[in-house]
Structure 1
């Protein structure tokens, strides 16, 4: 089959020179199997970082961000020298051939991101001309400088003003439907207003209506509650009498919203209004000003929309589209409408939106007033689909009563369910009174003037122009049967005719009084009341404010950031007229962003401090829902893929052309956004404590030099690029940041094993778990995954994240996979969420996904994220949130579904440079140095420099060093028989891991090279880490000049095995004692030449649990020496989730000469739900004036409430002591006593009884023991 044909050249030219120009070459490959979530597609592909595939449309686009210092007008771009190549239809795979255009249709968009400007260029890379498909091979682009604009047209710069709510007396109430409302004296009293003390002339009404705020930034919306014109009947006497009342027009939550395709406000069922009792007159409704021009037409009818819509169920639990009635139990339902004053002989245009979740073909039968119309056929959902929808459009004869019958046919599959979204009837009605208030407008407006005539108007007292809801004007009627007036027939002109018998009545909540607030006027003020730019915004509901403020205080003190914590309720009050709305949050951030004193001072970070949900209005049980800080959802929710995305990028896009435009991913992000997915005070406190612990001195250690890159295996041919890309990403980091120790866990390089549940990689899974507990600064996974875990082989499960115990070693966990952390579904907690929520382990933050993501998009994004996160070609590093922001702006294709879960202002704890090796065996490294030969003694010397290479003579602290054998060359196994063998370079074996003291900027230590090094000579690696005394400053360094290999022919003989002492948790442990289910095994080793950690065959440091010699625990990486003494060292190995009962560990270790030592230890595991006490005693006993109370327990690291009561032999309590203790081991001896009673008097000599009571608040268990003591 010949796929490629003739090359075709074409182009368009203009004269002059452009500021921005270049050439684009597309590197095509054909018949490529590509993963998009759970399904596979065969697609032609080109450069992964420039290809965007629309899954819904099955079209591909070329997308590239071009850095630019100029903004261009639409006509500025010219495309030249387009090279096309013929391609056969069957080479286009699963593309929808019906949607391939005849032209490449190049487009561009100006993108602004803080102080950076881009032009996003897009075009169709495949076209069809004269029945021939063609692909773009290359083209040139140019932008004409004469068509340039100097800057982006940002929406507006706001004036810093006080909120209307900043002073005065305020009361709040709400409405639900739009119309004219009446407030009487009784309702004012119900609000808590002392009506007798007010002047009705000074009553003011504020509110912005119940419409959802615009998603697009270029649509104006008030940034504060706005005063509305009202009518106060009886105000002239200055007293609010019993017969007085207020009339006003209120906009409810029942308005059509084009952006979200709904009549129902998605975020709130209440439209709030505010009464202000002021000292000056309020705004009043004025008389309507009719046009002077003559009317060109007379109007006695109007266009109306009658609808039925309920938001009852979100079918896929994602997206903004909610559905109403389900056709599960009752598959045949009828909906009746009454349309007064319908115009006879006119037509009603009906629109019915229906859906089905069926995996088979289903349909709806439609009958309107007994007449059958065309069925609505609904296609089966795909593997990643949640429902399919379709619209039915019909014209029906006008009648006042319309009955619509819908019958769902599930095609014999009971689990297929049909749903109704809405029924919308567009009709014509006469302008005629009928005992109700009614709104009217004309749909087909022009710029002419029309004469409205309202018949049967005797009971209509007024007509209001409500086109501007803040400045309503009135036309009064004195019992006339016909009301006529002129009006401009322009768009958005709306009126309402008022019948006094049909005033609507407002509603109130329990809390009606509104506390004064002033976000807009006070947000920039510091503690001295002076203007200060804001670095970091934390937005959270009031109940989480204490924890958010705790985090803010940390950043103020640690990073000198100006942090403001803003209660969500206050944002809604000022920016959304009291109702929940995501647009209010974004508009508030814009207010802060655009009011900075300079471009460089604009707010950098936004922390959405709270979990989120697809359900904004507690349609699911409120106790289950997690809508703490709302999230942006795409309109549709009919797919688990990128088209039904949720994103927080919405809150960080500030410019005019942004907001609801995610066609090719995220637009230019201006603010780094992160979300801490917390739902309770305890959870919030845990996550804030993790951030603080990450920066605590206890977290400092050589683990900060470690990085882990994990690649999925090849289960199908489309997976082949995963391990290749991940290996390239890791190597790119190694090249740019050579001090980093990179551990590659390539699944296909491990032996795959078969189990009852499928194929597994137990060794790889254990290596990942161990790497977490040993510590690594970053884990990066690329591959398949889902809400339940990572990889088809269950490499990571929900329980993995829950059970991790890596305190003070919290990594950033990057998971570029499908919906690993879909946190917006309260019904199902994900593996990603559990990994983040773990208070004593898991991740400090996650860069992760909440929806399915394309494989190509994930791979391209990983390269860019790597560059941004680790500051390639830079010595400084951005925060996690800032790195993600930058990466999204460059590799935007799949970026919108990638989140920062965690603190966006947190920076990776990458140590500063640098530590250098200066001498080997007292010979400067600038000259010839000794090789590191097996069994030779090597002495190493070095020093601490600053980043300007100046010696730091005042640096004193601790040094950790790891020496690695030559890099090893490894290969994949091709376990599944798919793909090809991949060779890759991995870090060599650890031949020495030790510690030394740094004194006045210098260090020196020695060790004996193990016999088990690989003998061929080659470059090894030394990794240094330094922690300074009393100062939070750590350093890193490396050396790859050293040569490792060969054997020392003059090595002294050594046949003496090492010495070892074994313990559990600490050195107070007694063989056979009790432990918890996850104890720490300790082995203290002593050998003249040191311990072998070089992983020679059969010479690993191992622990054999309960005789299971086929599955030993490898402990090499858990051994390190004492400072400045390579002869002494210890193994500290964590066992996890041991069964209750007696256990034995047989321990084996070799010295560098391969002399073996073995030893055993026994211990009794008590269940975590049991609090066990043993070895209760006091020491010394007998005593005179001092003793300690000792006891062994099974709850290390857990706060325990301990009470000691000393009693006489007759039972009288003479001394009581209560204390909370926390031990790292199983032995407690923190409580002491001087032999005096509770009154401070010395007790007499003799025998006493004491009771020791210990309580665990975690497991809610308590136990006690009685013992005797003797006072001399």
Structure 2
């Protein structure tokens, strides 16, 4: 044992310790997790070993530094066994590389270096350089020439055709000047080829600031493709990814999340989520993973067709979980009453779990509300403009009684009466795990039904924050501005502007940000 460290904070996953040790036994390092809890687990990211060695140049470039002596007034002397023709560079700053002078005392060269801070050096003789691997060619492009667009669609190269079809639809039907770019193009031009979400934001900012008037200003951004927490493909999940912003690593479920809000923060001082950053753009995502799923554009474009209009567009279904001192019932009823108070000709269909008979399922050893389940399925099948839910959930169903199982969303055929889902629950719009499909993904990716859009949290969210967000979202969704109905993205953006602090950043929107009003389609 070379040392011990103690961690008692569940969210603390980074611990830096320095141990001075002798020679390694059998060239190995052994880590042991000790805990009074026999089920405790730990995940090792990496071990970094720094060792003192004799600097002997053997024709291959050698990098070196000295961690032992850094601080104000410190000076380090380096001795390197090498020929006099060797070159030594100070590469501490990659954009300020300096030639390092040295003294020759054959067979050693040496030099002194100030060590107020850690300095990095490389020695080479020009005869044995590393060879870069050829990856591929980059086509000529000029995304910097794109300006004055109302809408941007960022997609994967595999989905450019479908995204272009959708862009042409919005240009023709909605009068929105729309540009389609692939994430690969953006990474090449704004990220030096690195798969960096910041490159996408930089591109969006360029177009945003190119506007000369409100008419040619950027309003909507659509991410047409699914993200992944492994967006650099380190684990080999595949490259078909349009990344989202991932929070700093944490195993605290309330502090780890993914969010597309990052792409809507246009001020140069924003992007770190310091609780004072306000969105400027309406962001939506259609999280397709395959070319087959990309055909969802047909469902989306058909939503505004005349054949999809009917009385169902005036119906709002409100669903509430049980227990918890009736908090979900009270929250849902408040939302329903607010909707009914608007001069929109809306009618409510209330499905509150406690209003139904609860039974015990001996097969699963759990409580169930079978009649509530039937009524929720009817709401999807018969049609309604909005289905809103307040309550608990897991990765497979609403409520512990499973009043809506997500498998149903895969197969329900309601192509002519698709609802907007407002889910005030946990992880319904989780999207960055390539090995799972959340409820929101299942509903939107159903090519013959499901939903037209979904707004919900991507991670754990508490009842109070869900309720606050949904109350405000409903307010903006059904409030006309100068006689004009807001788009889904408008209402979502207004809500984000009003509620720009944690924990609202990880409530995300699946669907088109420019989706027309759910009552009139105009």
3-state DSSP class of the match of 2:430? coil
Measure, in 1, the Cα distance between the counterparts of 2:93 and 2:17.
32
Residue equivalent to 2:46: 422
Residue equivalent to 1:899: 508
Matched, 1:405 2:11: no
- Pick the structure with greater CA Rg: 1
Residue equivalent to 1:565: 180
Residue equivalent to 1:606: 221
In the TM superposition, residue 677 of structure 1 has moved relative to its aligned partner by: 0.8
Matches within 5 A, 1:1176-1255: none
Residue equivalent to 1:688: 297
Matched, 1:583 2:198: yes
Residue equivalent to 2:282: 672
3-state DSSP class of the match of 1:786? coil
Measure, in 2, the Cα distance between the counterparts of 1:626 and 1:726.
41
Q: Deviations over 1:658-692 (max 9, x none)?
A: 21225x4x83112211111101222111x211111
In the TM superposition, residue 736 of structure 1 has moved relative to its aligned partner by: 2.7
3-state DSSP class of the match of 2:45? strand
Q: Deviations over 1:283-335 (max 9, x none)?
A: xxxxxxxxxxxxxxxxxxxxxxxxxxxxxxxxxxxxxxxxxxxxxxxxxxxxx
Structure 2 alignment gaps of length 5 or more = none
Give the alignment partner of residue 438 of structure 1, picking from 49, 57, 63. Answer: 63
Give the alignment partner of residue 661 of structure 1, picking from 259, 265, 273. Answer: 273
Give the alignment partner of residue 20 of structure 2, picking from 382, 387, 396. Answer: 396
Q: Deviations over 1:262-290 (max 9, x none)?
A: xxxxxxxxxxxxxxxxxxxxxxxxxxxxx
Give the alignment partner of residue 732 of structure 1, picking from 338, 343, 362. Answer: 338
Give the alignment partner of residue 721 of structure 1, picking from 312, 320, 327. Answer: 327
3-state DSSP class of the match of 1:839? coil
3-state DSSP class of the match of 1:421? coil
Q: Deviations over 1:1124-1171 (max 9, x none)?
A: xxxxxxxxxxxxxxxxxxxxxxxxxxxxxxxxxxxxxxxxxxxxxxxx
Give the alignment partner of residue 374 of structure 2, picking from 766, 771, 779. Answer: 766
Contact in 2 for aligned 1:835/1:842 (Cα 8 Å): yes
Q: Deviations over 1:553-590 (max 9, x none)?
A: 01001111111000111111111111211121122112
Residue equivalent to 2:466: 858
Matches within 5 A, 1:73-92: none
3-state DSSP class of the match of 2:169? helix
Matched, 1:777 2:385: yes
Matches within 5 A, 1:887-1036: 887-891=495-499, 892-911=501-520
Residue equivalent to 1:632: 245
TM-score by length of 2: 0.88
Matched, 1:814 2:428: no
Measure, in 1, the Cα distance between the counterparts of 2:109 and 2:215.
59
3-state DSSP class of the match of 1:673? strand
Distance 1:791 1:451, change over 3 A: closer
Distance 1:427 1:659, change over 3 A: farther
3-state DSSP class of the match of 1:904? coil
Matched, 1:789 2:391: no
Contact in 2 for aligned 1:461/1:478 (Cα 8 Å): no
Residue equivalent to 2:89: 464
3-state DSSP class of the match of 1:771? helix
Residue equivalent to 1:514: 138
3-state DSSP class of the match of 2:185? helix
Contact in 2 for aligned 1:703/1:809 (Cα 8 Å): yes
In the TM superposition, residue 416 of structure 1 has moved relative to its aligned partner by: 5.5
In the TM superposition, residue 485 of structure 1 has moved relative to its aligned partner by: 6.9
3-state DSSP class of the match of 2:515? coil
Give the alignment partner of residue 800 of structure 1, picking from 400, 408, 420. Answer: 408
Measure, in 2, the Cα distance between the counterparts of 1:487 and 1:534.
53
Measure, in 2, the Cα distance between the counterparts of 1:412 and 1:449.
46
Measure, in 2, the Cα distance between the counterparts of 1:450 and 1:380.
39
Contact in 2 for aligned 1:736/1:872 (Cα 8 Å): no
Contact in 2 for aligned 1:611/1:626 (Cα 8 Å): no
Measure, in 2, the Cα distance between the counterparts of 1:831 and 1:536.
27
In the TM superposition, residue 423 of structure 1 has moved relative to its aligned partner by: 2.1
Residue equivalent to 1:843: 451
TM-score by length of 1: 0.38
In the TM superposition, residue 844 of structure 1 has moved relative to its aligned partner by: 0.5
Measure, in 2, the Cα distance between the counterparts of 1:700 and 1:762.
30
Residue equivalent to 1:834: 442
Measure, in 2, the Cα distance between the counterparts of 1:570 and 1:487.
43
Tell me whether 471-480 or 604-613 shows the greater mean CA deviation.
471-480
Measure, in 1, the Cα distance between the counterparts of 2:516 and 2:209.
25
Residue equivalent to 1:291: none
In the TM superposition, residue 495 of structure 1 has moved relative to its aligned partner by: 3.7
Q: Deviations over 1:920-955 (max 9, x none)?
A: xxxxxxxxxxxxxxxxxxxxxxxxxxxxxxxxxxxx
Measure, in 1, the Cα distance between the counterparts of 2:282 and 2:112.
52
Residue equivalent to 2:154: 539
In the TM superposition, residue 644 of structure 1 has moved relative to its aligned partner by: 1.3
Contact in 2 for aligned 1:441/1:495 (Cα 8 Å): no
Q: Deviations over 1:28-80 (max 9, x none)?
A: xxxxxxxxxxxxxxxxxxxxxxxxxxxxxxxxxxxxxxxxxxxxxxxxxxxxx
Structure 1 alignment gaps of length 5 or more = 1-366, 382-386, 525-532, 913-1032, 1034-1272
Matches within 5 A, 1:747-758: 747-756=353-362, 757=364, 758=366
Matched length: 514
Contact in 2 for aligned 1:626/1:826 (Cα 8 Å): no
In the TM superposition, residue 802 of structure 1 has moved relative to its aligned partner by: 1.8
Measure, in 2, the Cα distance between the counterparts of 1:485 and 1:644.
47
Measure, in 2, the Cα distance between the counterparts of 1:911 and 1:825.
35
Residue equivalent to 2:260: 648
Matched, 1:498 2:96: no
Q: Deviations over 1:579-616 (max 9, x none)?
A: 21112112211222223225775421111110122222
Residue equivalent to 1:48: none
Measure, in 2, the Cα distance between the counterparts of 1:594 and 1:454.
53
Residue equivalent to 2:310: 701
In the TM superposition, residue 488 of structure 1 has moved relative to its aligned partner by: 7.5
Q: Which has the higher contact order (CA 8 A, sep 6+)?
A: 2
Distance 1:457 1:445, change over 3 A: farther
Residue equivalent to 1:1256: none
3-state DSSP class of the match of 1:751? coil
In the TM superposition, residue 480 of structure 1 has moved relative to its aligned partner by: 6.1
Residue equivalent to 1:1114: none
Measure, in 2, the Cα distance between the counterparts of 1:451 and 1:412.
47
Contact in 2 for aligned 1:536/1:561 (Cα 8 Å): yes
3-state DSSP class of the match of 2:20? strand
Distance 1:453 1:828, change over 3 A: closer
Residue equivalent to 1:742: 348
Distance 1:494 1:736, change over 3 A: same
Distance 1:733 1:412, change over 3 A: closer
Q: Deviations over 1:335-362 (max 9, x none)?
A: xxxxxxxxxxxxxxxxxxxxxxxxxxxx
How well do the aligned residues superpose, as a CA RMSD in angstroms?
3.3
3-state DSSP class of the match of 1:893? coil
Distance 1:504 1:874, change over 3 A: same
In the TM superposition, residue 829 of structure 1 has moved relative to its aligned partner by: 2.4
Structure (1/2) with the larger strand percentage? 1
